Amino acid sequence: MTSPRRRDFLKGIGLAAAAVLTGRSFGSQPADNKPLGRVQRRNFGRHKFTVSSLALGGYSLRTANDDDARRIVDAALNAGIDFFDNAWDYHNGTAEELMGRCIKGKRDRVFLMTKVCTHDNGGRREAIRMLDQSLARLGTDHLDLWQVHAVSTLAQVRNAFAPGGVIEALDEARKAGKVRFVGFTGHTDPDVHLAMLSHGYPFDACQLPISAIEANSNAFVRRVLPELVRQGIAPLAMKSLCGSAKPVREGIYSVREGISYALSQPVTTVVSGITNLQELTENAAIATDFSQMSSAELASLEDRCRAATESENFQPYRKWMSYKEGDAAKFDRTA
């Protein structure tokens, strides 16, 4: 039986999720006009435009061959998916290069995001160097969103905000017109996310794990997501299928249930690891036909996932509290 406190929390989440569905679409298209494509759209945080509620993950896209990747990108755009995810270190830079080739001539149809991977080994100067490399690889003169990648320790938070840290690079890049919006990502420790948010910096977006399995750990869904909503920061969901689709393979929940659970939270988009046209078609259909899960449905799915949460075998990224430079992509599957 769901407790009154839990019912209030779930009701609040449902109301917030409904609220993000209003506003203007990317490219300043009025919300009362018919949107391009079919996938539902949501507000980008406090800003008055919308992006697709499903995002195309750049790491997984690179696992397809070049011709198939182009077909996936074209099909995504035709389905109304305009939010594209990437990172400087995915596949040693070749993920950005491939995406750049795939969106050539279509850049104005894409809300393009990539991530800077300074981690423990660099600050402002190194971040700007990475940004310029990312822009060249992606074949563009600006990013719509640039995020600090995989912040996983409190030491990294301190370094980010220290003089000469990566936060200064965010300010510099935005002032120079190289990026429109900025944010950060992470998937290990909600206290790290809350430490980043405690500085009051005007982040535009934040990427975090959102799944029914994760929710039972009383971490990101319960603690971080409400703070993002409070600050008007666009929450970008990842790991809806736990990064490897293991819950689907083991029959704990379906792809539809995993993505629908994430979309039923007050998130802007769900970053999806798509490797072929069949996966794109399936995931786009879920985001197109999505309807809000009820409080009872959310609670029931979480209860079904409780044993998986307790086993700690479905969230390997949560155990990964430190890493060597270059290892981040191993744990950043976006499925």
Residue 85 pLDDT class (50, 70, 90 cuts): very high
Q: What pLDDT is recorded for position 119?
A: 76
Q: Is 331 left (phi over 0), alpha (psi -120 to 50) or beta?
A: alpha
User: Angle at Cα 194 formed by Cα 191 and Cα 200, nearest 5°?
Assistant: 155
Q: What is the 3-state secondary structure (H, E, C) of 164-199?
A: CCHHHHHHHHHHCCCEEEEEEECCCCHHHHHHHHCC
User: What are the residues whose beta carbons fall under 8 Å from the beta carbon of 49, sequence distance 6 or more?
Assistant: 23, 24, 25, 26, 27, 28, 43
Residue 7 pLDDT class (50, 70, 90 cuts): very low
Give me the phi and psi of 266, to 5 degrees please. -80, 65
Contact present, 26 and 43 (Cβ < 8 Å) = no
Percent of the chain's residues with pLDDT above 70: 82
pTM: 0.87
Percent of the chain's residues with pLDDT above 90: 77
DSSP for residue 53: S
- 283: pLDDT strictly greater than 80: yes
Task: Look at residue 255 and give its three-state secondary structure.
Answer: helix
From 14-23, 46-55, 237-246, the region with the lowest mean pLDDT: 14-23
- 322: pLDDT strictly greater than 50: no
Best CA proximity match to 148, nearest among 125, 179, 114: 114
Average pLDDT over residues 239-244: 90
pLDDT, tens only, 20-72: 443 445 543 333 333 445 999 999 999 999 999 999 999 999 999 999 999 99
- 249: pLDDT strictly greater than 70: yes
- 244: pLDDT strictly greater than 70: yes
- Structural domains of the chain sorted by starting position, each given as residue range(s) with its CATH number in brackets: 4-331 (3.20.20.100)
The whole-angstrom separation of Cα 165 and Cα 127 is 9
Q: What pLDDT is recorded for position 314?
A: 85
The whole-angstrom separation of Cα 219 and Cα 229 is 15
- If one compares 219 and 328, the residue with the highest pLDDT of the two is 219
Give me the phi and psi of 144, to 5 degrees please. -80, -30
Q: Is 182 left (phi over 0), alpha (psi -120 to 50) or beta?
A: beta
CA 333 to chain centre: 11
From 46-50, 110-114, 120-124, 291-295, the region with the lowest mean pLDDT: 120-124
Count of other CB atoms within 10 angstroms of residue 242: 27
Residue 4 pLDDT class (50, 70, 90 cuts): very low
Q: Is 289 left (phi over 0), alpha (psi -120 to 50) or beta?
A: alpha
pLDDT, tens only, 150-180: 999 999 999 999 999 999 999 999 999 999 9
- 287: pLDDT strictly greater than 70: yes
Q: What pLDDT is recorded for position 318?
A: 67
Taking the alpha carbons at both ends of the chain, their separation in whole angstroms is 31
The whole-angstrom separation of Cα 260 and Cα 3 is 23
User: Angle at Cα 89 formed by Cα 85 and Cα 94, nearest 5°?
Assistant: 80
Q: What pLDDT is recorded for position 62?
A: 97
Query: Angle between the 66-78 and 94-102 helix axes, to the nearest 10 degrees?
Result: 60
